[in-house]
A and B are shown apart, each in its own frame.
Chain A
Amino acid sequence: MTEALLRAEDLVMHYPTKAGGRPGRRGTAVKAVDGVSLAVQPGEVFGLVGESGCGKSTLGRLLLRIEAPTAGRVFFEGQDLGGFDRGRLKRFRRQAQIIYQDPYSALNPRQRVGRIIAEPLEIHGIGTATERQQRVAELLQVVGLRPGQAVRYPHEFSGGQRQRIVIARALALNPRLILADEPVSALDVSIQAQVINLLEELKGRFGLTYIFISHDLSVVEHISDRVAVMYLGRLVELAEREVFYQRPLHPYAQALLSAAPVPDPDAPRQRQILKGDVPSPINPPSGCTFHPRCPHQMPVCVEERPGLRELAPGHWVACHLY
């Protein structure tokens, strides 16, 4: 196997909870990410799915060192990001960019689009003003907009067009890795399809690697090479896309797939409906954190946390059933 582009070892992120907790319970923390290891290969699309609050965005921020983890390490091309000084971290930022969900709040409403896209170039002191202008024109074309639109303001664009602007800005520094955190979730399906096509086209054209976060299982199936499922701060399953969608092994992953509504009135429905809600990450259940909702719960599940084990080549599952 080639060297991973990005590798995480035992990442943990605990946010201390603030006032409101009862006295004597001062040590409580939100366990947003609770021991995640993974490796992203160059050129792949690594899909990350899970329900709201399970820690996807937090994990993403740790992977790109937008935040420092409570514990654990991240390596980019074998180099430990934790050991980087400011200069090297800045160079890392040129290589790894992020696209957020909301194309409305991601853009400064008072700046012209050209200025927004050129901003990373300015921050990194790249090119003369004229060269930057040329680069902006080029980037606008790359994402399917017109160079003339550089003088417009974000509110003059539709949601899908704004997400194109966000993508253009992320591409400005020629990154190798893009973390896309729910990049199409705020868009209507017809526009969503436009943006997904664009992301796939750019990947081929510029040899990009994506970490693609989404709660939409069909979008992740469409775009990803491998899929990781997260539950309460941990990875519970990781597999190649076809393997995962044909035969998910973790009971939570199975429930998640069976819950996704299928746009076909004649599709067979053997829906497995989970009991209860996702528990709070402040006080997660013991052992396997999925045990209160799991239809296959066994005594050991309450006691022992199952580790992520490789059951078949490339297929990792954290469950005592296997």
Chain B
Amino acid sequence: MSTGPVLDIRELTTRFDTRRGPVTAVDRFSLNLGSGETLGLVGESGCGKSVTALSVMRLLPRPAGRIAGGRILFKGKDLASLPESRMRRIRGNEISMIFQEPMTSLNPVYTVGFQIVEALRRHRRMHRRAAREEAARMLSLVGIPEPGARLNDYPHQLSGGMRQRVMIAMALSCRPAVMIADEPTTALDVTIQAQILDLMNRLKAEIGMAVMLITHDLGVVAETCQRVAVMYTGRIVEAADVRTLFRRPAHPYTVGLFQSLPQIGGRQGRLKPIPGAVPSLLRLPPGCAFQERCFRSDGQCRQDPPWTAVGPEHWARCWHPMEVST
């Protein structure tokens, strides 16, 4: 399947300067992505998923946000330190991104056709005529009926599901090696979500790209990803292939996430929430950030927990991971 990682993120650290002091939104984040693979990045809101994506794309809001450390290796280059002029040639071309709310990335004053055509002309150096044909082909590929006519529509004339399809068409039009999809279906209804996930799965196979799928929905992960990384307060706390992570979660936080879900197929009495709430990044406790909510914490957890192999290709950042031996 894969021949070494296409994207290799090593110890990425991203900070924001806020009025109340510096915040480490992404903390020594390491992860790699093989071509043809879909990796799920999950975690609750504010844990740093979007900041990770924006760091890789080098789209952090400036001047507040900056990459403070680490490397983002892509085809032998370190994106973390690449000059903006060279990054511009990679962004939207070799690595593209789709956002949760497509209206934020589609320009409301241009037709969708114009926007796709411009991207094709810029990145694939196509002529206008050929680019327009290719744009129509892309729209039909993502399942938009009457693609030729739709090219003349403005974004607001499309439904949420159609806009997300257009976003995907744009993101794919340059046949990227890596696609980062940040909550691509969170704003959509389930029947439309099913259409979009199905579409992404098919196109991924066709184009052979690597996908980093960011979501808070464990159902979406189970249906689309081969590997999963779980984030909490800016750090990856567990990583494994999808079956292992769902069957034998090792980190107490991952265990808590699964227990919080209402079970399918009936009422099981009370749910088992994780107590408390995610701590503020400005007031993290020393050591493990999950300790105040953890059912296994003890004194040792006031020290930074190690990244521990708990099984084959299965790691957890925890002093007392669950017993996962098979």
- How far is it, in angstroms, between the C-alpha of A271 and the C-alpha of B196 when the chains are bound? 13
Task: Check B223 against A51 for contact (C-beta < 8 Å).
Answer: no
Say yes or no for A274: interface residue by CB 8 A criterion. Answer: yes
Task: Check A263 against B219 for contact (C-beta < 8 Å).
Answer: yes
Binary per-residue interface labels of chain A (256-278) against chain B in the complex, 1 for a CB within 8 Å, 0 otherwise: 10111111111101010110111
- How far is it, in angstroms, between the C-alpha of A188 and the C-alpha of B270 when the chains are bound? 17
Q: A51-B189, A267-B222 are in contact. Are A193 and B242 (CB under 8 A)?
A: no
Task: Check B198 against A161 for contact (C-beta < 8 Å).
Answer: no
Q: Which residue of B lies closest to A225 (CB)?
A: B267
Q: Which residue of A lies closest to B185 (CB)?
A: A261
CB distance from A186 to the nearest CB of B (A): 9
- How far is it, in angstroms, between the C-alpha of A194 and the C-alpha of B190 when the chains are bound? 24
Say yes or no for B87: interface residue by CB 8 A criterion. Answer: no
Say yes or no for B285: interface residue by CB 8 A criterion. Answer: no
One of A79-87, A145-153, A216-224, A296-304 at the interface: A216-224
Task: Check B264 against A262 for contact (C-beta < 8 Å).
Answer: yes
Contacts of B272 in A (CB 8 A): 193
Contacts of A273 in B (CB 8 A): 191, 194-195, 198
Task: Check B260 against A261 for contact (C-beta < 8 Å).
Answer: no
Question: Count of chain B residues with Cβ under 8 Å from any Cβ of A?
Answer: 48
Say yes or no for A191: interface residue by CB 8 A criterion. Answer: yes
Task: Check B198 against A192 for contact (C-beta < 8 Å).
Answer: no
Q: Which residue of B lies closest to A271 (CB)?
A: B194
User: Of B193, B222, B274, which contacts A259 at CB under 8 A?
Assistant: B193
Contacts of B197 in A (CB 8 A): 261
- How far is it, in angstroms, between the C-alpha of A273 and the C-alpha of B199 when the chains are bound? 11
CB distance from B167 to the nearest CB of A (A): 16
Say yes or no for B128: interface residue by CB 8 A criterion. Answer: no
- How far is it, in angstroms, between the C-alpha of A200 and the C-alpha of B267 when the chains are bound? 12
Task: Check A271 against B198 for contact (C-beta < 8 Å).
Answer: yes
Say yes or no for B54: interface residue by CB 8 A criterion. Answer: no
- How far is it, in angstroms, between the C-alpha of A260 and the C-alpha of B266 when the chains are bound? 15
Q: How large is the interface on A (under 10, 10 to 19, 20 to 34, 35 or more residues)?
A: 35 or more
Contacts of B259 in A (CB 8 A): 193
- How far is it, in angstroms, between the C-alpha of A265 and the C-alpha of B3 when the chains are bound? 25
Q: A221-B266, A245-B265 are in contact. Are A189 and B260 (CB under 8 A)?
A: yes
Contacts of B194 in A (CB 8 A): 258-259, 261, 271, 273-274
CB distance from B233 to the nearest CB of A (A): 13
Task: Check B273 against A191 for contact (C-beta < 8 Å).
Answer: yes
Task: Check B271 against A222 for contact (C-beta < 8 Å).
Answer: yes
Task: Check B246 against A193 for contact (C-beta < 8 Å).
Answer: no
Contacts of B45 in A (CB 8 A): 188
- How far is it, in angstroms, between the C-alpha of A256 and the C-alpha of B256 when the chains are bound? 27
Contacts of A193 in B (CB 8 A): 259-262, 271-274
Scan residues 2-16 of chain A and give those whose CB is less than 8 A from a CB of chain B. Answer: none
Say yes or no for B220: interface residue by CB 8 A criterion. Answer: yes
Task: Check A188 against B216 for contact (C-beta < 8 Å).
Answer: yes
- How far is it, in angstroms, between the C-alpha of A264 and the C-alpha of B218 when the chains are bound? 8
Say yes or no for B109: interface residue by CB 8 A criterion. Answer: no
Scan residues 110-127 of chain B and give those whose CB is less than 8 A from a CB of chain A. Answer: none
Task: Check B223 against A52 for contact (C-beta < 8 Å).
Answer: no
Q: Which residue of A lies closest to B220 (CB)?
A: A261
Contacts of B190 in A (CB 8 A): 51, 215, 217, 256, 259-261
Say yes or no for B281: interface residue by CB 8 A criterion. Answer: no
Say yes or no for A68: interface residue by CB 8 A criterion. Answer: no
Task: Check B195 against A274 for contact (C-beta < 8 Å).
Answer: yes
Q: A222-B262, A263-B258 are in contact. Are A197 and B271 (CB under 8 A)?
A: yes
Scan residues 213-270 of chain B and give those whose CB is less than 8 A from a CB of chain A. Answer: 216-223, 242-243, 246, 256-268, 270
Q: Which residue of A lies closest to B198 (CB)?
A: A273
CB distance from A192 to the nearest CB of B (A): 7
User: Of B44, B216, B222, B266, which contacts A265 at CB under 8 A?
Assistant: B222
- How far is it, in angstroms, between the C-alpha of A179 and the C-alpha of B1 when the chains are bound? 52
- How far is it, in angstroms, between the C-alpha of A251 and the C-alpha of B197 when the chains are bound? 21
Task: Check B271 against A265 for contact (C-beta < 8 Å).
Answer: no
Task: Check A260 against B219 for contact (C-beta < 8 Å).
Answer: yes
User: Of B160, B217, B243, B264, which contacts A221 at CB under 8 A?
Assistant: B264
- How far is it, in angstroms, between the C-alpha of A258 and the C-alpha of B45 when the chains are bound? 27
- How far is it, in angstroms, between the C-alpha of A242 and the C-alpha of B257 when the chains are bound? 25
Contacts of B261 in A (CB 8 A): 189, 193, 218, 263
- How far is it, in angstroms, between the C-alpha of A196 and the C-alpha of B273 when the chains are bound? 9
Q: Which residue of B lies closest to A201 (CB)?
A: B270
Scan residues 125-171 of chain B and give those whose CB is less than 8 A from a CB of chain A. Answer: 145, 159-162
Task: Check B189 against A52 for contact (C-beta < 8 Å).
Answer: yes
Q: List 29 A-B contacts (CB under 8 A).
A: A52-B160, A52-B189, A188-B45, A188-B216, A189-B261, A190-B256, A190-B273, A193-B260, A197-B271, A218-B262, A218-B264, A219-B262, A221-B264, A222-B267, A256-B191, A258-B194, A259-B190, A259-B193, A260-B190, A261-B190, A261-B197, A261-B217, A263-B258, A264-B264, A265-B243, A271-B194, A273-B194, A277-B161, A277-B192
Which 8 pairs between the two chains have the least Cβ-Cβ distance? A261-B219, A193-B273, A222-B262, A190-B274, A193-B271, A51-B189, A259-B194, A188-B44
Instruction: Name B residues whose Cβ lies closer than 8 Å to a Cβ of A.
Output: 44-45, 145, 159-162, 189-195, 197-198, 216-223, 242-243, 246, 256-268, 270-275, 277-278
Instruction: Name A residues whose Cβ lies closer than 8 Å to a Cβ of B.
Output: 51-52, 158, 160-161, 188-194, 196-197, 200, 215, 217-219, 221-222, 241-242, 245, 255-256, 258-267, 269, 271, 273-274, 276-278
